[in-house]
Amino acid sequence: MAQYDWHDLMTRYNQAILNSKYRQYLPPDVGARGWLGKASATEQQLKDLETRLQYPLPPSYRSFLAYSNGWEMTAPYLYRVWSAQDVAWFAVNNQGWIDAYTDQIAVGEETDFIAAVDIEQIEQLGMMTGVIPMLRTEHLKTALEVSEIGDAAIYLLNPLVINAEGEWEAWLFADWLPGARRYPSFWALMQAEYAGFVARQV
């Protein structure tokens, strides 16, 4: 079974944000205590969430909540990762957003995960053709939102794509991409988001 060192990753993430210009946008109490995380979710809170969703949580996301039940900021465009009690199906509060994609944008072909060096080229192709090569728009209807909406951006988990380890595909979904950057797990998403945040500070 894979091990996810959330303590190492999120400690580095925490320090990177506190050392950046974005610290000024954190809630005052978060900046004062110097930690963007929350108390660990209890096992009962995790079971309650799984009961509510009627799905077992993907392992890396479950272990994240067990480490920190929510997070304040991960990027200039993403202000808060939800605590277990706030997680919801994307369609509950965002049907209009789903309709905008499923009605107006053609469904791209299913593709493998794409290396970071190819992302800009893929996004440019999407803007030119109206096709989102990395996104199956119909999957928005069953996606799970695990963050609040930031700058027209949100983190989603996709229960229609699950690997052998039980990991759900994870998305950074944003209008300005347009579409989604897809990762094989929540762990992979957060590693990429951390690396991207650090790279933008150089």
Percent of the chain at pLDDT > 90 equals 73
Percent of the chain at pLDDT > 70 equals 83
Residues 6 or more apart from 188 whose CB is under 8 A from it? 60, 170
Amino acid letter, residue 115: A
Q: How many CB atoms lie within 10 A of CB 51?
A: 9
Query: What is the pLDDT, as a whole number, of residue 134?
Result: 59
Cα-based distances in Å from 188 to 47, 78, 110, 171, 192? 23, 16, 19, 10, 6
Separation between Cα atoms, residue 97 and residue 45, nearest integer Å: 29
pLDDT tens-digit readout, 106-128: 444 454 444 433 445 444 444 44
Query: Is CATH 2.40.30.20 the right assignment for the domain spanning 6-201?
Result: no
**Under 8 Å between Cβ of 157 and 58:** yes
Torsion angle of the four alpha carbons 65, 63, 15, 171, in this order, in degrees rounded to the nearest 10: -80
How does DSSP classify residue 193? H
Higher pLDDT, 106 or 84: 84
58, β-bridge pairs: none
Peptide bond into 56 cis (omega under 30): no
Separation between Cα atoms, residue 144 and residue 140, nearest integer Å: 8
Average confidence (pLDDT) over 176-185: 87
Is the confidence at residue 105, as pLDDT, over 80? no
Higher pLDDT, 85 or 131: 85
**Under 8 Å between Cβ of 138 and 110:** no
Query: What is the pLDDT, as a whole number, of residue 178?
Result: 74
**Under 8 Å between Cβ of 134 and 122:** yes
Which pTM does this prediction carry? 0.86
pLDDT tens-digit readout, 3-17: 899 999 999 999 999
Instruction: Lay out the sheet containing 153-162: strands in order across.
Output: 88-89, 144-145, 153-162, 168-174, 179-183
pLDDT tens-digit readout, 25-37: 999 999 889 999 9
Is the confidence at residue 165, as pLDDT, over 80? yes
Separation between Cα atoms, residue 177 and residue 75, nearest integer Å: 15
Residue-range domain boundaries for the chain: 6-201
